[in-house]
Amino acid sequence: MACHIVILGASYGSLLSTKLLMAGHDVTLVCLPEEAELINTAGTIVRITLKSESEPSLIRSGEQPGRLDAKTPDEVDPGECDLVGLAMQEPQFRAPPVWKLMNRIAGAEKPCLSIMNMPPLAYLRRIPGLDTESLRHCYTEARVWDEFNPDCVTLCSPDPQAFRPPEESLNFLHVGLPTNFKAATFASEAHNAILSRLAEDIAAVRLDGLDVPVKLRVHDSLFVPFAKWSMLLTGNYRAITPAAPRSIKDAVHSDIALSREIYAWVDSVAARLGASPEDHVPFEKYAKAAESLLKPSSAARAAFAGAPHIERVDKLVQAIGRTFGLESADVDQTVEVVDARLEANRAE
């Protein structure tokens, strides 16, 4: 029997939804009314390059065994689903209709798999010894997470790089770096059984006999998703400069020694939380991947498009580091640059 997954966020969320649809599961995407109308009429399209192929493939939701629909937040009954995916940017969760849906999800105690860059505050409450009260200022609206049972929330490192090309419609997603989603387990074996089944079903998918990239990998360690933090602070947030956005490649490779230092410092913060060396991604592997990231990060694009708020993993890692007495002048500078850009946006 197919699982029914509700995913909040139809942009990045359409990547996970496409993988689930290909595996035969049913998905409801939660989005704005104009997005929902388009998706219910035309479905979604994901452009991705398969292994051993030189040209990208277009994967259309309507051609998959799973069923897709789209709804606005007030139309969703979380009691009807098996699992919830969180794929919105953190500031979006404070919008009243979304916040109300989040409260309904929390009340239903449905397992929630986050593929946000910013870890849900409820997930951080699963980390032994971490003072999450001291981290609330890093969130646009921390109260969104107050009603959640931490045991029902897990985190997935959103390593695949994907975005909506500006020249395409709202139901289109381009995958630039087709790496895997790496999820930590839930506290409940029943919830883990759902997660493992989805991972196995996604892994078995083939398209015209070819393996399809972007798997869902499940890890026992709570700290595996934190490997993304080093990448975000080395590349994504440093793509925001005082004057203009720059590509992630330029952010990383314009001063490779500095990038290595920042990457190592962030890894040291994760290690103090409890991460093991095998939970980390080696800098060399990340630096190699960054060579193909020729566009600014989504954070940089949003910051220079006038967004008053963006996800602040930079500020979160800085704050966690300070709880351990760990400081980095380079990370502090990044936080200051991002703060200044957003303050300028809010003043306009």
- Tell me the pLDDT tens digit for each residue of 173-204: 999 889 899 999 999 999 999 999 999 999 99
Distance CA 302, CA 296 (A): 10
Is pLDDT of 348 > 90? no
Give CA–CA dist 309/339, Å, rounded.
10
pLDDT value of position 127: 97
Give the model's pLDDT for residue 90: 96
Q: In CATH, what class is 224-347?
A: mainly alpha
- What's the CA gap between 153 and 106, in Å, rounded? 10
Residue type, 216: L
- The three-point CA angle 227-159-200 to 5° equals 100
Tell whether the model's pLDDT for residue 53 goes beyond 90: no
Same fold, 4-219 and 224-347: no
pLDDT of residue 129 exceeding 90, the answer is: yes
Distance of alpha carbon 319 from alpha carbon 327, whole angstroms: 9
The confidence score (pLDDT) of residue 54 equals 87
Please provide the average confidence, as pLDDT, over all residues in the chain: 96
Q: How confident is the model at residue 160 (pLDDT cuts 50, 70, 90)?
A: confident
At 290 the pLDDT is 94
Could you tell me the fold of the domain covering 4-219?
Rossmann fold (3.40.50)
When pLDDT is averaged across residues 90-113 and rounded to a whole number, the result is 98
pLDDT in the model for residue 263: 99
* Residues 197-238: tens digit of each pLDDT: 999 999 999 998 999 999 999 999 999 999 999 999 999 999
Q: Considering all CA atoms of the chain, what is the largest pairwise distance in Å, rounded to the nearest integer? A: 54
**Distance in angstroms (rounded) separating the CA atoms of residues 67 and 22:** 10
Bridge partners of 162, per DSSP, are 175
Alpha-helical segments (H) within 136-222: 189-203
Q: What predicted TM-score, i.e. pTM, was given to this entire model?
A: 0.95
What does the pLDDT read at residue 6? 99
- In this prediction, residue 176 carries a pLDDT of 87
Cα–Cα distances (Å) from 238 to 229, 249, 282, 301, 313, in that order, read 13, 10, 19, 12, 12
Q: What percent of the chain has pLDDT over 90?
A: 93
For the record, the structure tokens of 9 come out as: 């966020």
Which helix (H) or strand (E) is 149 found in, with range?
A: none
**Is the pLDDT confidence value at 254 over 90?**
yes
Domain boundaries, the chain: 4-219, 224-347
CA distances from residue 264 to 99, 258, 337 in whole angstroms, order as listed: 36, 10, 21
| Pair of tokens at residue 45 | 């399209």
Which of the four pLDDT bands, split at 50, 70 and 90, describes residue 112? very high
**What is the pLDDT averaged over residues 48-67?**
94
pLDDT digit string, tens, across residues 301-323: 999 999 999 999 999 999 999 99
Rounded to an integer, the average pLDDT of 334-343 is: 99
